[in-house]
Amino acid sequence: MTMDREDSVPGKPVGGRSADAVLTEIVRNGVLAVTEEMKTNLMRTAYNMIIYEALDFTVGLFTAEGDTVSIGIGLPSFIRGMSNTIKAKLNRFGVENLAPGDILVTNDAYITGSHLNHFTFSLPIFEDGKLCAWTCCMAHWPDVGGTLGGVTTDIYSEGIQIPITKYQRAGVVNEDLIEIIKMNVRLPERAMGDLRAQIVAVTTGARRFGELMTRYGREPVLDAIHNIMDQSEAAARARTRTIPDGIYEAESFMDDDGVEPGKPVPIKVRVIKKNDEMTIDLSQMSPQVAGFFNSGPSTGYSCAQVAYKCLTSPTDYPINEGSFRSLNVIAPQGTVVSAVRPAAMRWWMTFPMTVVDTVFKALAPAIPNRTIAAHHADLVIAFMHGVAPADGRFFIGFIGPTGGGWGAKWNEDGMNGVVCSNDGDTHNSPSEQLEAKYPILIERHALREDSGGAGRQRGGLGTEVVVRARAPVTVDVQAERMHCAPWGLAGGHSGFGNQVTVRLDSEEKTDLANAKVRNQRLKKGDALILRAGGGGGFGPPEDRDPARVAEDVRQGYVSREAARSLYKVETAADGSLDKERTRSLREQSSSGQPQAFVAPG
């Protein structure tokens, strides 16, 4: 896209002068407004709920070189993916082969770091014939071909692959590319609707950024962006210096890779802090696996960036490249978060969340007041397909993401029923819309009692969703972290893990080896049950204020049995606190006579 501007604008800096503090703040808020409007227009024009309701997308503004200027939040793990995708597009075509009116596209999983469902459109912004910036939109298409459900073991079975190419050349759409895409997806009209919505997003961003340059001048605006990045770098380095120097390590695991049930996949991280820089070493991660839980190298970097951003500058906006100049990442190719072709990538988003949690776990001894206990770390999402009785048309849909519990911090409880960290701004789908669009009924959507890890600060609660089929439907769930329960910190207990079951002929099957249900056919009246895990607790449970425990019991967050055995708090049937009995229980506990608690079910 090209923008023309008048040579003289009142109040505009002249003579190539660097942007001053006032203009820097104007531009800071201006680029945030650009990406927010991109988000809004995408949501208003998209065809699929996963974009306009669940918000499974990210938009961004980037420098001419592809460095991040502003991210429209969305999925935090896209921080690196979109930047790397733009740089790959520059490498593919070169600046000399780009022109106003070009729009580039790819869904190459090994560039974006994610899966083939994420189509990424990028628009170069020109002003006076010079490439000044890029807008970019990465969004999830529900179907890109490939197998339906089950476990894939290579990228070729996961759908259509679009190499870096021009969707639009000098304003002219590549109709051949459109026809190729339409022929390779099951619901072409919806795919084209989402495609057009993404074009609206990137053209909106280009237009608004062009207006910013028209008003204040190209060079002053670009100077202001450099100022913003320098300020973000300084803030991140200052915050990094407050972390004690040292080498910190931690490990966890994933349940399995979907191909070998019961065989854990190790997650190991090493954090090196020296002066004002941090290195996150992911070289000891599990090698890429046979199943589809791999992600590309961009995601390995994103794991480190998300953790570092949370620790050093969580409220510094816009999210930009400057915040990460003091971060070094070691992510050799061939691991589960830096996989290479032809590794399967469809469920790319699951393992990275646990990597981020494990980085926090490593640093907990050094900065306990700035880390957080583990969370449920999974979308706990169900995909479904079938034929709608109302019109006889084939449908593809999803249920979730299911809100789970987040870990507690040193000074507050974990949040209840919140979408996992990988998905940031993502929302769950409203029950009413699901019931209106698909032949299902949401019987129950409630918090899971006792699912939050006990602690001085309690872990957040997960939720339970019971979905009854109103007509034959096939469901597929690939949830993780059933066996690696969300751990607590500083003496806090683990939360419940994720769980998935089915109810067939009125009988619930609870003996599944993991939280994976593959291509299960439900007939009318059968049900799928999704149970998201809770968050880990922080600090010893016996240190929690008895009055807060009693309130948890009244709210249904904690059962009376758990209050008694874990918190050493006695409550009456109405949830009121029994102070005398509580004093006795805690005295017994301090004398070394703990009582065991067995979770129901």
The per-residue pLDDT for 592 is 56
Domain match, 522 and 438 both: yes
CA proximity to 78, closest of 55, 49, 46: 55
Residues 130-181 have pLDDT tens digits of 999 999 999 999 999 999 988 999 999 999 999 999 999 999 999 999 999 9
Q: Which residues of 146-219 form beta strands (DSSP E)? A: 165-169, 172-173
Q: In this structure, is residue 293 part of a structural domain? A: no
- Residues 6 or more apart from 579 whose CB is under 8 A from it? 546
Q: Is residue 237 a part of any domain in this protein?
A: no
Q: Which helix (H) or strand (E) holds 39?
A: helix 21-45
Whole-number pLDDT of residue 427: 79
State the pLDDT at residue 595. Answer: 45
SS3 (DSSP) at 462: coil
470 and 569 in a common domain = no
> How far apart (Å, rounded) are the C-alpha atoms in residues 361 and 79?
22
List C-alpha distances in Å: 440 to 54, 281, 338, 399, 506: 18, 45, 38, 10, 16
pLDDT (tens digit, 9 = 90+) per residue, 512-521? 999 999 999 9
Q: How far apart are CA 182 and CA 583, in angstroms?
A: 69
Cβ(183)–Cβ(145) under 8 Å?
Answer: no
In this prediction, residue 404 has a pLDDT band, given cuts at 50, 70 and 90, of very high
pLDDT score of 416 more than 50 = yes
Structural domain contains residue 303: no
User: Which structural domain range is residue 554 located in?
Assistant: 542-590
Q: Which of 196, 215, 231 is the last residue of a domain?
A: 231
Residues 522 and 580 in one domain: no
Length of the chain equals: 601
Number of folded domains that form the chain = 3
Quick one: DSSP state of residue 353? H
Q: Are residues 441 and 520 in the same domain?
A: yes
**Rounded mean pLDDT, 216-223:** 96
Band (421; pLDDT cuts 50, 70, 90): confident
Q: Give the CB-side neighbour count of residue 515, counting CA atoms within 13 A.
A: 28
| Residue 561 and residue 504 in one domain | no
For residue range 260-272, what is the model confidence (pLDDT) as tens digits? Answer: 999 999 999 999 9
**575 located within any domain:** yes
pLDDT value, residue 74: 66
433 within some domain:
yes
Residue 486 has pLDDT above 80, yes or no: yes
Residues 454 and 549 in one domain: no
The predicted structure's pLDDT at residue 17: 45
Contacts of 113 (CB under 8 A, 6+ apart): 77, 80, 81, 84, 295, 296, 297, 298, 299, 300, 301, 302, 348
Q: How far is residue 136 from each of residues 203, 260, 390, 446, 471, measured CA to CA in Å?
A: 9, 38, 38, 37, 40
The pLDDT of residue 402: 94
**pLDDT exceeds 50 at position 6:** no
User: What is the rounded distance in angstroms from the CA atom of residue 111 to the CA atom of residue 92?
Assistant: 12
Which H helix or E strand runs over 181?
Answer: helix 175-183
| Residues 565 and 489 both lie in one domain | no
Query: Would you tell me how many other CB atoms lie within 10 Å of the CB of residue 211?
Result: 14
Q: Rounded distance, CA 156 to CA 543, Å?
A: 54
pLDDT at position 398 is 92
What pLDDT, on a 0 to 100 scale, did the predictor assign at position 83?
96
Q: Do residue 94 and residue 204 come from a single domain?
A: yes
In a domain, 41, yes or no: yes
Does 465 reside within a domain? yes
Cα angle value 478/529/403 (rounded, 5°): 70
Rounded average pLDDT over 185-190: 96
Lowest mean pLDDT among 3-7, 91-95, 103-107, 352-356: 3-7
pTM: 0.92
467 in the same domain as 517: yes
Q: Does residue 10 have a cis peptide bond before it, meaning omega lies within 30 degrees of 0?
A: no
Summarised one tens digit per residue, pLDDT across range 429-447 is: 889 999 999 999 999 999 9
* Percent of the chain surpassing pLDDT 90: 87
Task: Yes or no: say if 488 and 537 are a contact pair by the CB < 8 Å rule.
Answer: yes
Same domain for 534 and 467, yes or no, is yes
Q: Do 550 and 461 fall within a single domain?
A: no
**Domain-ending residue, one of 511, 538, 565:** 538
Q: Indicate the average pLDDT of the chain.
A: 93
**Considering the domain boundaries, does residue 332 fall inside one?**
no
Mean per-residue pLDDT, 521-548: 97
Which of 538, 554, 571 is the C-terminal boundary of a domain?
A: 538
Which of 270, 224, 225 minimizes the C-alpha distance to 251?
270
pLDDT-derived band at 77 (thresholds 50, 70, 90) equals confident
Backbone angles phi, psi at 62, to 5 degrees: -135, 155
Residues 531 and 554 in one domain: no
Cβ-contact 473, 455 below 8 angstroms: no
Instruction: Quote the CA–CA distance of 48 and 491 in Å, as a whole number.
Output: 44
